[in-house]
Amino acid sequence: MKTYLDCLPCFVEQALRASRIATDDDKLIKQVLDDVGDMIKEIPMENTPAESGILIYGKIREITGVADPYREIKQQHIAEAKALYPELEKMVAESDDSLLTAIRLAIAGNVIDLGINKTFDIVADVKRILKQDFGIFDYEAFKTKLNAAENILYIGDNAGESVFDKILIRQLKRRVKYAVRSQPIINDATMEDALSSGLDEVAELIESGSIAPGTILNRCTPEFIRIYRNVDMVISKGQGNYEGLSDEKRSIFFMLKAKCPVIARHLGVKEGDIVLKGINL
Amino acid sequence: MKTYLDCLPCFVEQALRASRIATDDDKLIKQVLDDVGDMIKEIPMENTPAESGILIYGKIREITGVADPYREIKQQHIAEAKALYPELEKMVAESDDSLLTAIRLAIAGNVIDLGINKTFDIVADVKRILKQDFGIFDYEAFKTKLNAAENILYIGDNAGESVFDKILIRQLKRRVKYAVRSQPIINDATMEDALSSGLDEVAELIESGSIAPGTILNRCTPEFIRIYRNVDMVISKGQGNYEGLSDEKRSIFFMLKAKCPVIARHLGVKEGDIVLKGINL
């Protein structure tokens, strides 16, 4: 997915929000906005928005000197999600279709995204998403693919959401490799976050090599690309990974909540819709 | 009111929205965004946001070659508001407190603001605002001032809203001068708009000299400033006028709906609140 004109004001808004988390110094924040403003004309519109995230969040790091502004917030989200975990497991166990409930929960976890959402209420969102209609619902194809698969690459998105992924991975009942970013970027899950989410209990944890808030294959490690090409099934969580992988040639299942108008339009769904979309099936 | 950090991403978003109205050519729109991005570092934060509006909307004019992108939209809003007019008059006539109902309607008209609101529904908003509690409600002071006043300067805001102003001006029952911008800027009312709103039937129409989406006194005509200084009562509609006049020394009554977090915070109200605020009483 390319960068759309609507992404440009959003980049400036994200820069403001993230630099406020990194520092209280309005002069530094202003400097970030000045520099991100200058960057608008240099951002290649043919790149994915996630790729530009490297530049924008790199600028915040450079100016504020804070390498991982979301560190504490990520830990907090993981702790909150873990506190919910027994209840979520119970929801899955008591549901008529435990796989589908686990998918819904994994998507509900995707509301934990500080790059785009300013505020969210995990419990309220979980309850809503458990009942919400899907904008795209390729569930039959998902089950067919899953039944034929021995191994799965599950590309994670945000910290906290990672705990919700654990629920789904348990239901997949396959050998799963769970991929995380190789460097902190916004609140995306890193190896440290995956470990504190307890994902090592259900999957083999790997780094994708990505330092973007998404998966841009030509910026990933050869090892990750090899796994991606050879695995039976790929599950990709969230908008950032969709941005990087939406034009790929292999089969992928995307699970996300369409949190911005650009992604919603690209998917052909309404903003706020939940999506289970398979490509190249 | 000065410019806040939150105003900067909003400027870029407004530039996108307005340039889309001016042109379908994505290359021109991108050029506007590039240039507005560059402008961020040059925007004097001690200026009011409305003052920066001159630069931003000037840039759109320069690049797209469209002097008044909102012309048709303004005419449409005036026509829509005029179609509602008899019903609005009836609401005032049938209410227990006709002045207060007219004030509420004048504020309801303030939702017609394409600089900030993307979408709105006039009828739904009117109905809601007729029942909504005020965030600030200096109505007693307003009535006291009005009772002692012979002449009033009423500083208009948007086209369409101007029709709602007519309702209130009728209820004021005083000699009213209605001030408009001296050049098209966003969807703010100009002399042409005031005339097609029928405001000449209830007030003397004057131009403030302002080419900003607000009233910045040192950019107004000496004649407007003289009237402003000598009149018994000043009524100022909308955010843009508030931005320019909030630090003034003379008594002013502001009527507006707080449509952005920055203005809401400055006023000490919630976003979406309706406000009747008097200063220097």
> What was the pLDDT predicted at B255?
98
Give contacts of B6 with chain A, Cβ < 8 Å: 16
pLDDT tens, residue by residue, A125-147: 788 888 999 999 999 999 999 99
Statement to judge: residues B136 and B33 lie in one domain: no
| Tokens 């027994």, residue located | A86
B73 reaches A (C-beta below 8 A): no
pLDDT-based confidence at B112, cuts 50/70/90? confident
pLDDT-based confidence at B128, cuts 50/70/90? confident
C-alpha distance from B11 to closest chain A C-alpha (Å): 8
pLDDT tens, residue by residue, A39-76: 999 999 999 999 999 999 999 999 999 999 999 999 99
Q: Considering chain B, what percentage of its residues have pLDDT values greater than 70?
A: 97
pLDDT-based confidence at B124, cuts 50/70/90? confident
Statement to judge: residues A33 and A117 lie in one domain: no
Given a cut of 70, whether residue A175 has pLDDT beyond it is: yes
Given a cut of 70, whether residue B120 has pLDDT beyond it is: no
Residue B243 is part of which domain span? Answer: 71-279
Residue of A nearest to B38 (CA): A38
Length of chain A: 281
Statement to judge: residues B12 and B140 lie in one domain: no
Given a cut of 70, whether residue B274 has pLDDT beyond it is: yes
Task: Identify the CATH number of the domain in which residue B268 sits.
Answer: 3.40.50.10880
B234 reaches A (C-beta below 8 A): no
pLDDT, chain A, mean: 94
Statement to judge: residues A193 and A220 lie in one domain: yes
Statement to judge: residues A32 and A155 lie in one domain: no
A91 reaches B (C-beta below 8 A): no
Average pLDDT over residues B61-81: 93
| Tokens 């804070």, residue located | A66
Average pLDDT over residues A256-275: 96
Please give the Cα distance from B231 to B177 (Å, whole number).
Answer: 9
Statement to judge: residues B84 and B107 lie in one domain: yes
Given a cut of 80, whether residue B116 has pLDDT beyond it is: no
Tokens of A161: 């959401």
B87 reaches A (C-beta below 8 A): no
pLDDT-based confidence at A179, cuts 50/70/90? very high
ipTM comes to 0.89
Given a cut of 90, whether residue A269 has pLDDT beyond it is: yes
Please give the Cα distance from B116 to B92 (Å, whole number).
Answer: 28
B40 reaches A (C-beta below 8 A): yes
Q: How far, CA to CA in Å, does A227 sit from each of A153, A154, A168?
A: 8, 11, 20
Choose one of A15, A44, A64: the last residue of a domain: A64
> What was the pLDDT predicted at A115?
52
Please check whether residue B1 lies inside any domain of the structure.
no
Helix (H) or strand (E) holding B195: helix B191-196
Candidate from A9, A36, A37 with C-beta closest to B16: A9
Statement to judge: residues A108 and A242 lie in one domain: yes
> What was the pLDDT predicted at A119?
55
Average pLDDT over residues B189-197: 98
Statement to judge: residues B138 and B13 lie in one domain: no
Given a cut of 90, whether residue A240 has pLDDT beyond it is: yes
Q: Are A183 and A211 in contact (CB under 8 A)?
A: yes
Please check whether residue A2 lies inside any domain of the structure.
no
Given a cut of 70, whether residue B117 has pLDDT beyond it is: no
Other C-beta atoms closer than 10 Å to the C-beta of B277 total 22
Please give the Cα distance from B257 to B274 (Å, whole number).
Answer: 4
Given a cut of 90, whether residue A118 has pLDDT beyond it is: no
> What was the pLDDT predicted at B114?
53
Q: Which of A4, A5, A21, A24 to mutate to test the interface with B (most CBs of B within 10 A)?
A: A5
Average pLDDT over residues B139-166: 97
pLDDT-based confidence at A124, cuts 50/70/90? confident
Statement to judge: residues B91 and B211 lie in one domain: yes
Given a cut of 70, whether residue A100 has pLDDT beyond it is: yes
Please give the Cα distance from B155 to B119 (Å, whole number).
Answer: 24
Residues 6+ apart with CB under 8 A from B16: A5, A6, A8, A9, B29, B32, B33
> What was the pLDDT predicted at A112?
72
Among A107-121, A216-230, B24-38, B183-197, the range scoring the smallest mean pLDDT is A107-121
Please give the Cα distance from B2 to B47 (Å, whole number).
Answer: 5
Tokens of A38: 């200058």
Q: Which residues of A37-60 are buried (b: 16+ CB within 10 A; e: fewer)?
A: bebbeebeeebbbbbbbbbbbebb
Statement to judge: residues B60 and B76 lie in one domain: no
Choose one of B18, B39, B64: the last residue of a domain: B64
DSSP string, A192-247: HHHHHTTGGGTSEEEE----SSS--GGGS-HHHHHHHHHSSEEEEEHHHHHHHHTT
Please check whether residue A163 lies inside any domain of the structure.
yes
C-alpha distance from B17 to closest chain A C-alpha (Å): 9
> What was the pLDDT predicted at A116?
52
Average pLDDT over residues A186-193: 96
Identify the burial level of A2 via C-beta atoms within 10 angstroms of its C-beta, where 0-12 means exposed, 13-18 middle and 19 or more buried: middle
Please check whether residue A78 lies inside any domain of the structure.
yes
Choose one of B64, B80, B107: the last residue of a domain: B64
Statement to judge: residues B60 and B199 lie in one domain: no
Please check whether residue B218 lies inside any domain of the structure.
yes
Please check whether residue A141 lies inside any domain of the structure.
yes
pLDDT tens, residue by residue, B245-260: 999 999 999 999 999 9
Helices (H), chain A: 7-22, 26-39, 49-64, 71-94, 98-108, 122-131, 139-148, 161-172, 191-196, 222-230, 238-245, 261-267
Average pLDDT over residues B118-128: 72
Grouping H, G, I as helix, E, B as strand and the rest as coil, residue B2 is: coil
Give contacts of B116 with chain A, Cβ < 8 Å: none
Statement to judge: residues A50 and A156 lie in one domain: no
pLDDT, chain B, mean: 94
Given a cut of 60, whether residue B118 has pLDDT beyond it is: no
> What was the pLDDT predicted at A265?
97
Average pLDDT over residues A201-228: 96
What domain count does chain A have?
2
Give contacts of A40 with chain B, Cβ < 8 Å: 12, 33-34, 36-38
B268 reaches A (C-beta below 8 A): no
Given a cut of 90, whether residue A233 has pLDDT beyond it is: yes
Please check whether residue A192 lies inside any domain of the structure.
yes
Please check whether residue A123 lies inside any domain of the structure.
yes
